[in-house]
Structure 1
């Protein structure tokens, strides 16, 4: 910004990682600006009237996009094939990838008015996509094509923005630490299934693990860059990540969070920044439990299925340290319908099939999380593998003590994810003090949320 009456100075030279992080945030902002232009006047049902019946008596082709690993891809394709058996005129094209870069690809296709007909999103993108008019208001189909009576009202409400239903939860899950018991059982350091009473107790345990392995495996991954873990910790301290369209925390809170992880790194409990960094983008294949670099890492309970396939070690789920109020039952992902699609009604019918059909539920299992439909969940639970039953039991135990589900994240949340990664890496690699990194993160978060809502 040029200030009238002042000489414009040459911009400072930033470290490479900070330049990269800033470019990612600016690129996301620019893409969303294009998205807003492309979606202007969105929220309609494409070529159909909102609430219209699905059209499957003539050929219909729908595109479906999601992120996830090979197990999710296999299950999703099987459900689409099952739908086609009773709807032979409907065909699908699919695209899937890891979480990193997923929204960039969706935003780019939306800017070209060519977004997938069915889009998997999480709650961090919901408000933004709804406000931009990218995804269709599903209210006209609710109670007709879209059956919602067997979904817990609180869980169903997580798909609403301003009382309009934009997304149907595909599953629910809750927060956990995935812990490698193959490493810690011989050491006599298996934690209780209820976890640790405090973060200090957790730090002591993790340092003991690192020492017992001779430093070959760290007790825990450095999770300072993980916005979901930060949110959990804030809730334990009586705060939320957002207060409407403003941060729900202070710069002092952010400093305390970065200090917590600096202390864990210094004690040897947590991995150094260079070990943690490859997994900061959320790629499960780079998870440090899967790569056997740490014993514990942040996870969602449904991810145990994918993690277990990535390692030959035995894993367990343990709640995050401290008060149980930090946890909450959350929609693991949603399916949404592109507002500009040519056959939104059929897309809605497919979404309904994923959520409410018992055969589909049996195929999907708990890879995305627990089925949102209570009847489907009860019907398929007996057929679950021991691993899936274990995930379901963990989820029930934790969510029975969990706090309330927070409101839909603020518009611009996707940018905050990257801002925390940049701040945590700056502190972790020693480029900035924790207080300076936190202050910059808080300032940038405040500005990004203001811009996102303007």
Structure 2
């Protein structure tokens, strides 16, 4: 084995040990069942003081808006107060897992679908089904969107907001070239590749048509769905080595034609930092985005950006939860925590405060009331979201346990292929092998 190969193996072993320790923590937290002091379906406490801990990730703007909604809840329910903890995404779940090991996790936990199956199976989060229809009203949430928080027909998490997939395209760059795409996008990947190559040519190579998105697990999932597959088949990968090879070769071809940026340009944005998005840095004319991120992207650039669907069939799209709120399964006041969740998604005043910072409101009535008050930019985002989700495919199954590691594994494979350290076939084979092992380990 080469020295570089030994280093990769060492990093991989350290990764397995670290993630194994995290799962051991969750397993410890699950021992003894998940029932809190309240019976399932119990009403919120109103006759004695209640203090609930709330955790979420995000920036200062999200923290400010979330705190305002919590303050409003306290104003309407004076017996309930809150302590809060928020931070960036990196390390967030490590902190949740550690607190769960001490049986002291926050009463309300913001999660994404990457950990939903794992947390439900480990009984870290409560089954919310007993509260559905009483304390928790979900009839104004699109069933497809609500279904993303269900596992085995039990509701474990309620979407705080929704969004869908898009390409953010720099109108300022492409319109003078006569290359502004129609709002319906490109009928095929070949058509898209030809467009992106023309953009690169038209700018004299100063701006590439599209960022190399081969490391983007969400984009890969979309492409799989266009090809009749899902990211997961139960607790196994839903893709083969041949599928991953085809994906990596697709992007290799786009790089070779000049349509896509080099791996060197793409790499800084692979971790998902929006400030390093290559449309913001003006290195490419297009990059993957979720529609609700348009506002933040526009704030970071003086160029005009538009949303365009992913190339090819919109069967790859789906209405996805940007985040969920869940209740800690061992909480002493689960019924009250559920009532707070209900307040976040159904109260019109709460909806007006939250706006679209997390995404579009999940409650149809709240959304309809808010849209007339939106800026033109937000109305544009809402219209895009409505148009794409109306054409979207079925809601994918809840991600497998271990999903939160898949993104990092794909980044490693894509960068190995993009920088020429491995062929697409070699990188694909290693990715599938590691992904399979990780999913098996996560469920053991």
State the TM bucket, normalised to the shorter chain.
Answer: over 0.9
SS at match of 1:93: strand
Aligned to 1:318: 308
Structure 1 residue 25: Cα displacement: 4.9
Are residue 31 (structure 1) and residue 22 (structure 2) matched? Answer: yes
Aligned to 1:7: none
Aligned to 1:364: 354
SS at match of 1:172: strand
Aligned to 1:3: none
**1:120 maps to which of 110, 121, 134:** 110
CA distance in 2, matches of 1:283, 1:137: 33
Root mean square deviation, CA, Å? 2.1
Aligned to 1:223: 213
Aligned to 2:398: 408
Structure 1 residue runs of 5 or longer lacking an equivalent are 1-9
CA distance in 1, matches of 2:268, 2:327: 32
CA distance in 1, matches of 2:28, 2:339: 28
The question of whether the paired residues in 1 share the 8 Å contact of 2:196 and 2:208 is answered with: yes
CA distance in 1, matches of 2:16, 2:408: 7
Are residue 195 (structure 1) and residue 199 (structure 2) matched? Answer: no
CA distance in 1, matches of 2:102, 2:268: 31
Are residue 62 (structure 1) and residue 52 (structure 2) matched? Answer: yes
CA distance in 2, matches of 1:34, 1:11: 35
Structure 1 residue 114: Cα displacement: 2.8
SS at match of 2:5: coil
Structure 1 residue 232: Cα displacement: 0.5
Aligned to 1:135: 125
How do 1:169-208 residues align onto structure 2 when only pairs under 5 Å count? 169-208=159-198
CA distance in 2, matches of 1:215, 1:20: 36
CA distance in 1, matches of 2:53, 2:206: 45
CA distance in 2, matches of 1:274, 1:291: 14
The question of whether the paired residues in 2 share the 8 Å contact of 1:99 and 1:283 is answered with: no
CA distance in 2, matches of 1:448, 1:247: 10
SS at match of 1:96: strand
Are residue 75 (structure 1) and residue 65 (structure 2) matched? Answer: yes
Residues 40 and 307 of structure 1, relative CA distance in 2, 3 Å threshold: farther
TM-score w.r.t. the length of structure 1 is: 0.92
Are residue 383 (structure 1) and residue 387 (structure 2) matched? Answer: no
Aligned to 1:6: none
Structure 1 residue 266: Cα displacement: 2.1
SS at match of 1:119: strand
CA distance in 2, matches of 1:225, 1:22: 21
Structure 1 residue 209: Cα displacement: 1.9
Aligned to 2:345: 355
TM-score w.r.t. the length of structure 2 is: 0.94
Between 324-333 and 53-62, the greater mean CA deviation after superposition: 53-62
CA distance in 2, matches of 1:428, 1:121: 31
The question of whether the paired residues in 2 share the 8 Å contact of 1:21 and 1:422 is answered with: no
CA deviations 1:376-431 (Å, max 9, x no partner) are 12222211221111111001111111111111111111122221111111111211
CA distance in 2, matches of 1:70, 1:267: 41
Structure 1 residue 342: Cα displacement: 2.7
**2:425 maps to which of 435, 438, 451:** 435
SS at match of 1:398: helix
Structure 1 residue 236: Cα displacement: 0.8
CA distance in 2, matches of 1:347, 1:393: 33
Aligned to 1:256: 246
Between 238-247 and 62-71, the greater mean CA deviation after superposition: 62-71
Residues 41 and 283 of structure 1, relative CA distance in 2, 3 Å threshold: farther
CA distance in 2, matches of 1:321, 1:159: 28
Aligned to 1:450: 440
CA deviations 1:318-362 (Å, max 9, x no partner) are 110111111111222111111122322221111111100011112
Residues 307 and 113 of structure 1, relative CA distance in 2, 3 Å threshold: farther
Residues 67 and 295 of structure 1, relative CA distance in 2, 3 Å threshold: farther
Structure 1 residue 252: Cα displacement: 0.3
SS at match of 2:368: helix
Structure 1 residue 278: Cα displacement: 2.3
CA distance in 2, matches of 1:179, 1:82: 38
Structure 2 residue runs of 5 or longer lacking an equivalent are none
CA deviations 1:290-325 (Å, max 9, x no partner) are 232222111111111222222232211111011111
Between 68-77 and 314-323, the greater mean CA deviation after superposition: 68-77
Aligned to 1:149: 139
Aligned to 1:395: 385
Residues 14 and 62 of structure 1, relative CA distance in 2, 3 Å threshold: farther
